[in-house]
Structure 1
Amino acid sequence: MPRDDPDGPRTADFEGLSIRWDPRVLEPRPWTAAQSTWAAKIAEQAPYGPLLELCSGAGHIGLLAALLSRRELVQVDADPVACDYARTNAEAAGIVTDVRCGDLREAVRGERYPVVVADPPWVPTQDVGTFPADPVTAIDGGPEGMDLALACLDVAAEVLLPGGSVVIQVGGVHHLPALNGHDAVLGGRLVFAEAREFERGLLAHLTAAG
């Protein structure tokens, strides 16, 4: 019998969503469904409008949040392969999404959103070899691991509606000082609300000044 292609497409169950991916993109982590459910809960009290997912990868986190919140979705990623999977996974799930491939800020310039979900790379460049199964572009967050996370906060500060929220994933509590030291937080445009720590990462919730 022919052996499966080790680099070919695979399928993961993500809280009932069938998510296609391959080793060129980051494998869906089951624990990150907590980011989806938290964002969906926040969306219950958020202003009208679609969710925005930054650094969407194969799309699973945003798709589950959209399904749970019954909102439409805009997803942005710089990797064309990830964008293709996000579209494929949305179509398979019957979820309305607008997938945009390119620069995070340019993709949504001039738009406004009630809730932003961000799952940026957060591994320091010198440590990416610790995760040989993960594609470097999907996990390399720069020298301190925070380059893309801070870029996501840049975008969130620009696009969030008054009273809107961003739920962002980082590596752990050691990344909180960088989030709280962001210009938008220091300037009062974003306000830190809560952090929830998990075995494989940390979720932080920040709100836009009303």
Structure 2
Amino acid sequence: MGYDAGVGEENPVVVDEPSESTCRFGPVTVRYDERVLTPRSWTLTQSSWAAELAAAAPPGPLLELCAGAGHIGLAAAVLADRDLVQVEADGVAAGYARVNATAAGWGERVEVREQRLQVAVRPDERFPVVLADPPYLPTAEIARWPEDPVTAIDGGADGLALVHACLDVAGVHLAPGGWLLLQVAGPAQADAVGAACAGRADGLRVVDRRVIDDARAVVAIRAGASGAIGPR
């Protein structure tokens, strides 16, 4: 807790400082506070899957979009022994992503870009594996999660606004034969993403999914995939 007092003020204003927490997330220890989304243990599924795919993927760094405190992409990079580029527009979250990479001994191998998705990746950059962790809750539902920062969970009217933005980035920047692993709000939203991909000119298609429960899942997407799966 700190104080914010102007010159001549008799009653200084007490300012609550964020309380920092730590948790173990797979191979890394994560620091964060209430201004960023609290790490969820289930999302290690995405990290582990990315590492599995990276083992057989072309060379090059991993890319993480909507990285938050950076734990999901960082765990994937450590497990896969790959360099990592992380994109996060929020300054607090991006700061934690840098801190966490350094604490894991990965500071020289992680580049955190504090920018919006649409401008963060250079036109010539290609990545063999992309992880995307966008806000995916419909705006009407975010009140159910008052402890979470709004910008970390609000996915627009249908929950897919930032999902589409991530698809747009991946559609341009996936290396040939590359993979996009995308967090979604369960199998119903996975179906919606599959339907959205079916109409895309860049050939992105959902080819697999790992469902945690009705509200949480990860989908695997490739460009020009012939084995795309439909709703199930």
TM-score class normalised by the smaller sequence: over 0.9
CA shift, 1:103, in A, is: 1.1
Q: TM-score, normalised by structure 1?
A: 0.93
2:163 maps to 1:149: yes
Q: Secondary structure at the match of 1:182?
A: helix
1:102–1:188 distance in 2 versus 1, CA, 3 Å: closer
Question: What 5-or-longer segments of structure 1 have no aligned partner?
Answer: none
How far, CA to CA, are the matches of 2:199 and 2:86 in structure 1? 24
> Which has the higher mean CA deviation after the structures are superposed, 192-201 or 60-69?
192-201
From 8, 29, 38, give the equivalent of 2:49. 38
What is the match of residue 65 of structure 1? 76
Deviation string 1:144-202 (CA, Å, 9 cap, x unpaired) is: 11111111011000100111000000101111233123357543521221011103511
- Percent identical among aligned pairs is 49
Q: Runs in 1 of length 4+ with deviation above 4 angstroms?
A: none
Q: Conserved in 2, the CA contact under 8 Å of 1:185 and 1:192?
A: no
Question: What 5-or-longer segments of structure 2 have no aligned partner?
Answer: 1-15, 226-232
Q: Secondary structure at the match of 1:66?
A: helix
How far, CA to CA, are the matches of 1:138 and 1:109 in structure 2? 24
Matched to 2:131, the amino acid is: V
Matched to 1:142, the amino acid is: G
Q: Conserved in 2, the CA contact under 8 Å of 1:185 and 1:191?
A: no
State which structure, 1 or 2, has the greater radius of gyration over its C-alpha atoms: 2
What is the match of residue 115 of structure 2? 102
What is the match of residue 217 of structure 2? 202
Q: Conserved in 2, the CA contact under 8 Å of 1:14 and 1:30?
A: yes
Q: TM-score, normalised by structure 2?
A: 0.85
From 48, 65, 68, give the equivalent of 2:59. 48
> Which has the higher mean CA deviation after the structures are superposed, 173-182 or 103-112?
173-182
How far, CA to CA, are the matches of 1:159 and 1:46 in structure 2? 15
What is the match of residue 122 of structure 1? 136
Q: Secondary structure at the match of 2:35?
A: coil
Q: Conserved in 2, the CA contact under 8 Å of 1:154 and 1:184?
A: no
Q: Conserved in 1, the CA contact under 8 Å of 2:142 and 2:153?
A: yes
- Corresponding residue pairs, total: 206
How far, CA to CA, are the matches of 1:6 and 1:87 in structure 2? 20
What is the match of residue 230 of structure 2? none
Root mean square deviation, CA, Å: 1.6
